[in-house]
Amino acid sequence: MSSKPLVFLIVGEASGDKLGADLMASIKKQQDIRFMGIGGEGMKTQGLKSLFPMEELSHMGLWGILRDLPNLYQRLRLTVKTIQEIKPSVVVSIDSPEFSFRVMKRLHRLSPRPHLVHYVAPTVWAWRPGRARKIARFLDQLFCLYPFEPQLFEKHGLKATFIGHPIAKTIYKKRKRDPNLLCVLPGSRRSEIQMLLPIFRETVALLKKEIPELKVVLPTLPAFQESIQNEVKSWPLEVKVVVGEKKRDEA
C-alpha cells in the first residue's frame, strides 16, 4: 500500500470539475498526493479515476432529483462504502451540496473518520441563512469564494477559509467595451441548459428589436457544444458559441 496521503474528491457538475482540477494541480505542486473520487474530464487530466461518471449527479430541480432518486441513493451508498474501505486522510466535496452533504453527514458519524472539507460555501448571505448552523454540525472546514463569507460560518464553530473566486484569478486583456455585445450563460448542467435556452431565445428576440446591432456570445462546454449550436440556429440572430476559457475571453 502506498504511503502517500490520499485525498477523496466529490464533484457533481462541470463548474466543480474545473475547481477540482485546479485544486489538484495546486496540491500536487506542494506535496506528493494520491487522488481518488468522483470528477469530470478536467480532474481526469490531473490523474483522477472517477468512481462513476460525474454526470450521474448533475440534476436540476425537484423533479430531476426525484426521477433519478434510486440511482442517486445507490451512488451515495457506493461513495460512502468506498471511502470507508480506502480510508482517505481528507474528503473534499466541491459544490453539488444535494449529494455532497448527504455523503458528509454519513461520514461524520464514523469513528475514526477523515477530515471533511467542502469547497464553495453555500450562499447563506442570499437565502436560507440557517444553513450555516446546519453544515457546521458535520463539516470540519469550509473553503469560501468571497472574503465576507468566513465570518458567517465561524460564528457557528466551523473553520472557514477565504481562498478567492477563480474568476478573479483570470487575467483579462484590456479591451474596448462593446455595448452591443451580450454574453448568454445557460449553465453547466444539461437539465438547466435545456430549461433556460428557450427563455434566453425569447429574451434575445426582445432585445434585438431594441438593439438592432446586438451580438451574442454563448460560452459552453465541449459536451454541449453541438446540441447548443443546433438549438441557437432558430434564434433571431447569429450566436457565437465558444468552448474553452481562451476562446471565451477572446470573444
Q: Domain spans of the chain? A: 6-120, 181-250
Exposed e or buried b per residue across 48-83, where buried means at least 16 C-beta atoms within 10 angstroms of its C-beta? bebbeebebbbbbeeebeeebeeebeebeeebbebb
- For strand 181-183 and strand 215-220, is the pairing parallel, antiparallel, or unpaired? parallel
- C-alpha 146/C-alpha 123 separation (Å) is 10
H/E stretch holding 141 reads: strand 141-144
> pTM, whole model, 2 decimals?
0.74
Q: Is residue 95 within 8 Å of residue 19, measured between CB atoms?
A: yes
Instruction: Give the CATH number of domain 6-120; options: 3.40.50.2000, 3.40.1170.60, 1.10.3720.10, 3.30.70.270.
Output: 3.40.50.2000
Phi-psi sector, 61: left (phi>0), alpha (psi -120 to 50), beta: left
pLDDT in tens, the chain (251 residues): 567 899 999 999 888 999 999 999 999 999 899 999 999 999 999 999 999 999 888 765 555 566 777 888 899 999 999 999 999 999 999 988 889 999 999 999 999 999 999 999 999 998 899 999 999 999 999 999 999 999 999 999 999 999 988 766 654 554 567 889 999 999 877 878 888 999 999 999 999 999 999 999 999 988 889 999 999 999 999 999 998 664 545 44
